Amino acid sequence: MRGLSLLFLLAFSTCLLSAQTNVVVVADAAVESNLRAAKVLQHYLEEMTGGNLVDLRPFGTIQPHTTVVFIGYDPSLSTFGFHTPPALPEDGYFLEGKNGHFLIAGGGELGAEYGVYDLLERLGCRKYSPRDAFIPKVRALRLPDLSPTTAIPAFPYRELWYEPAFDEEWARWHKLKTNPKKNAEWGLFVHTFDKLCPAEEHFAKHPEYYSWNGAQYSPGQLCLSNDTVRQIVIASLRKLIEEKPAAQYWSVSQNDNFDYCKCPRCAASDAHYGGPAGTLLAFVNAVAAEFSDKTISTLAYQYTRKAPEGIRPADNVSICLCSIECNRGLPIAEGCTDFARDVDEWSQLTHNLMIWDYVVQFRSYISPFPNWSTLQPNLQLFHEHGVRMLFEQGSGHDRSEFSDRRAYLLAKLMWDPQANADSILLDFDRGITVRHNLLSRHTLMN
């Protein structure tokens, strides 16, 4: 197999006129993620340099005097002064640049590609939005010197619900979950009780499967202390998992209303656990026990937001805690102390905490929404509490007030909530201004 893992290189010209190669990219061809990252780098370096040469040659032809980007590590790179990079988690990457050479090593399926985007930004490239990119044109490429740098995301799962993130290329550049990847990973996504135990199918014959409000049954939520309901949900979920076995995350979660069951058994359970979240969690833990190789996600939302007492999520249960009620004029720690308390209490019960955070107002997408100063402190709060998964709800597929700018800032802060937010916004504003001035002049001249 050693022969198969020979390193291959892709070569690029310095400019259209000379078609002279001045940078080569070398990737371990046996590792698909490294080869894919090399092709991404090839694409952008060709755009930068106007190059059009792509050459595949064995690694042995690379000499230390050649300017080269290595993607993936090989012991022979000690010739170039590079030592073995540290072990890297999923999405993490390692960069080092010296003497005109550059090393990118990545963790998991995407780490190397994310390292490529980092290098491209260091070379001046920007992807402001799916409509606004800046790729500088250079005649000869100089690779930057960089001391050994390891980059690991603050939140392993980063999903951004703003329009730019539905563009796969933009989302990958900003190291976010792409829409196709999300759809592949999730079998069911939030508010799933009715899918798993449909009222249309059962309510007429068995109203006791659903919510008792003290006077009558309603199909709003399930009666979570009913054993038959649990068996129906387990059977439905088993069937759905058989249809989509590769999906890891399966949401078993309340419908989007407050109509939870108050029958004597559920009410006693709620009292026992200090609130409805405990009754929900007992139910979800029992379902999750049937699917030990899957992650069962549930909502801590509205009436289940407050953490329970005397019960904790099973190892394969993920809690999606939602901040929908919070005042957006102040950071959560100042303006929504009850939610800050919930973050703290849930974080003590589980390491599988996801935050569904709302960064948009729904009344009017185009009206000014002055929550800019809250975005970074809120992400910092989540990070301090060990949150692993983030869903930042913006305006979805609709464009909204400064949605490109918001998406750009949030993407950077979701990777590193300690990044300099002012610098990120200044970079965006200058970049967009320059790009649109150039476009206007170009339009005038033509």
* 115, 93 contact by CB (below 8 A): yes
Give the integer Cα–Cα distance in Å for 53 and 59. Answer: 17
What is the closest distance, in whole angstroms, from the C-beta atom of residue 162 to Zn ion in the complex? 38
Residue 229 touches Zn ion, criterion: CB under 5 A: no
Nearest to 128 by CA among 180, 182, 179, 167: 167
Q: Give residues 35-74 in contact with Zn ion (rule: CB under 5 A).
A: none
Contact criterion met (CB below 8 Å) for 120 and 41: yes
Q: Is the Cβ of residue 253 or residue 374 nearer to Zn ion in the bound state?
A: 253
* Minimum distance of Zn ion from residue 332's CB (angstroms): 32
Between residues 112 and 223, which has the closer beta carbon with respect to Zn ion?
223
Q: Is 282 in the site for Zn ion (CB under 5 A)?
A: no
Residue nearer to Zn ion on the CB measure, 260 or 415:
260
C-alpha closest to that of 330 among 380, 368, 373, 365: 373
What is the Cα–Cα distance from 145 to 246, expressed in whole angstroms?
A: 42
CB of residue 410 to Zn ion, shortest distance in Å: 39
Question: Binding residue for Zn ion (CB under 5 A) from 71, 223, 340, 375?
Answer: 223
Q: For residues 190 and 320, is the Cβ–Cβ distance under 8 A?
A: yes
What are the residue ranges of helices labelled H in 416-445? 421-445
Question: Tokens representing 97?
Answer: 């640049």
Least Å from the CB of residue 413 to Zn ion = 41
Q: In whole angstroms, how close is the CB of 217 to Zn ion at the nearest point?
A: 10
Contacts of Zn ion in 170-209 (CB under 5 A): none
Cα distances (angstroms) measured from residue 329 to each of 23, 90, 336, 369, 378: 49, 35, 10, 9, 12
Look up tokens 């951004």; give the residue: 160
The yes or no reply on residue 263 touching Zn ion (CB under 5 A) is yes
Residue with tokens 């050649």: 66
Stretch that binds Zn ion, among 3-11, 192-200, 232-240, 256-264 (CB under 5 A): 256-264
Return the SS3 of 174.
coil
Crossing angle of helices 32-49 and 111-122, rounded to 10°: 20
Applying CB under 5 A, the span of 88-96, 153-161, 217-225, 432-440 interacting with Zn ion comes to 217-225
> Measured from the CB of residue 312, what is the shortest distance to Zn ion in angstroms?
22
Q: Pick the stretch among 4-12, 255-263, 268-276, 356-364 that binds Zn ion (CB under 5 A).
A: 255-263
Choice from 38, 233, 261, 284 touching Zn ion (CB under 5 A): 261
CA neighbor of 191 nearest in space, from 365, 322, 14, 323: 322
Q: Residue 304 Cβ, how far from Zn ion at the closest point, in Å?
A: 14
For the bound state, the minimum distance from the C-beta of residue 253 to Zn ion, rounded and expressed in Å, comes to: 17
Give the count of residues interacting with Zn ion (CB under 5 A): 5
Counting every residue, how long is the chain? 446
- The residues, any chain, with a CB within 8 Å of residue 331's CB and separated by 6 or more, are 373, 374, 377, 378, 381
The stretch among 11-19, 107-115, 213-221, 254-262 that binds Zn ion (CB under 5 A) is: 254-262
Segment holding 404, helix H or strand E: helix 403-415
Contacting residue, 196, 266, 296, 320, with Zn ion by CB under 5 A: 266
C-beta closer to Zn ion: residue 261 or 411: 261
CB 338 to Zn ion: min, Å: 26
Question: Residues in the site for Zn ion, rule: CB under 5 A?
Answer: 223, 225, 261, 263, 266
